[in-house]
Structure 1
Amino acid sequence: MTRIAILGANGRLGRVVARAFIAAGYDVRAVTRTGKLPAELKGASAIAGDALDREALIRATAGVDIVFNGLSPVYTDWSKCLPMAENVMAACHANGATHLFPGTVYNYGSPMPAVITEDTPYHPTTEKGRIRCAMEELFRREADAGRVRTVLLRAGDFFGGTGSGSWFDLVVAAKINKGIYTAPGPADLVHEWAYLPDFAKAFVALAGNLDKLGSYEALNFPGHGITDMEIKAAAEKAVGRPLRMTSMAWWVLRAGSPFVAMWREIVSMSYLRFEPHRLASTRLEAIIGTIPHTSLDQAVADALSDIGIATATGVSKAA
């Protein structure tokens, strides 16, 4: 049985990816700072491992075949990103493990390309974008040197799964119980979203097709390139009633950004909400076959239920 360690197993992405690998029959090791197993990861084993402690991380991943890197520092402090990435590389190298990594669209900067393919050049214009590019450069160097194989799958904004911290639950769906849909940007602007259960299944498919991949791969996951009007329509079907459209109050965040660290970081990435973009792939389907893709209506209904919002087809999952 193939063994995989999920780093960041307490996080939203880590939990969804871990569940997908458990369902696919993998021996899953959930690595968290505390060593406690998230309740929804029945079937996984738990082990403690701090990603900022290199030796501890090497021990936590000993004996695994694959490491999924779902580590995510708090949004206001990305100074830990590169040290964590270096420690993950050391752990993968020490244990001969393949590294799976979720990429972002931060690498492309502003202005955003309307369509992003695997061949679109990077042009980071923010600190977060530059950090992401530096991490990917590190992974490529390790792969080129024959030390660690990395398979990166790039996605847009996440929705789906339990927990909080995404644009979907913090903004878009925050007032749906009050009959309000909140658009983070222009309602007719195309924005790239990734439904997490689909994204996780794509990682499982890549892990099952490593023989088709080289020592370093950076692939795109084309999820839902859609507008807020489309998400709103799907949300209305899910809750069974019309929703009033309102817009996010960016002026408040901009005014307060010099004084509130989180607002400052959000404002620095605000171009993503005002420049249309979507991901396309020229390679993923040839490698894994049919790309996992839940219909928008079903994905939005399930995502709302995941965060405790009752839908017209049943009670909320949190109830």
Structure 2
Amino acid sequence: MAQRVAGKAEAARGVDDSAMAELELPNPRRLLLISIAAIVLLGLSVVIAAAYSILSIDETAISAETERAKVALEVVLRDGQPDGAAAARLADDFVLVGARFGDAASARPGEVSLPVPRSQTQLLWTPRRIGTELAQRLAPIRLLASALFLSGIGIVLNRLYRLTRLLEVRRRAAQELAARDALTGLANRLGFDRQLTGSARGPALLYLDLDGFKHVNDSFGHGAGDDLLRIVAARLATLARDGDCVARIGGDEFAFLRSPPTSRAELAELAADIALALNEPVRLGATQVQIGASIGIAMGDEHEDRTRLVAAADAALYRAKALPGHAFVFADSSRIASAA
């Protein structure tokens, strides 16, 4: 039976691992942070692209206006000198904003200069930056579009975050439900195996098999047997402390995993308490029945391998069941202790 129990535990672990892999979901907080980072990077790329486009349009416009200024300067200076009148004509007739003559050192911020042929002076004016002007005119529309876009992204992220959290909660609930025995509410074989695998070093294991359960099932029906199992589960649960795991392995077999630290004397006392609790009469409808339990005990510090711990407790249980009455047996001892 030890091999069968170990085999089923390994199979259950494999099924559980597969289910975990299929149900694995990203952490909601991490997903939200990654999404925000992606949006920030997208926004930065859009801003950089827009700034580059504005700069390119400005440079193209200034280059075209400079070429026009060269032609205009040739036309104006053909009949005059680089003076105030010529500058005014350049500003009015050729749309060179703020056109004036001066040296390069007198250029104001934003102005460009063009050397005047056959002269030491420079033509200075403020060129139109079409890309910047267009961006300023479209700024309200751009801001509104950005606000709408960010609002939509925020709504999507919020719903995605809430959905991911809901799925995470449901996944954990499904895992918890899968590890629970539907009849008794105790851990089932899967939950027991999970607890055993994740337990600290040195847990002790008590394997229990109910004495007289088959008689109750045969005499009073499976409904009465189910009621009896629920009562047994409730009594065992009252003896558990924080960190312990009480599980229904199958049928009328139960496992009691006692977390460390523990001792041989404490486990013997726990086995006696279990026997005392299960020996109390049980009322099933109008009938009162009395059962007991055979218990096999394996010390965790003597079986570091979890599979061997289960096999040792199972072998001790079979030795206890072979004795008349109710007994508990330690896996490493040939001595038998009465549990009645």
TM-score range, shorter chain: under 0.3
Give the greater-gyration-radius structure (CA). Answer: 2
- Give the structure-2-normalised TM-score: 0.24
Structure that is richer in helix per residue? 2
- Give the structure-1-normalised TM-score: 0.25
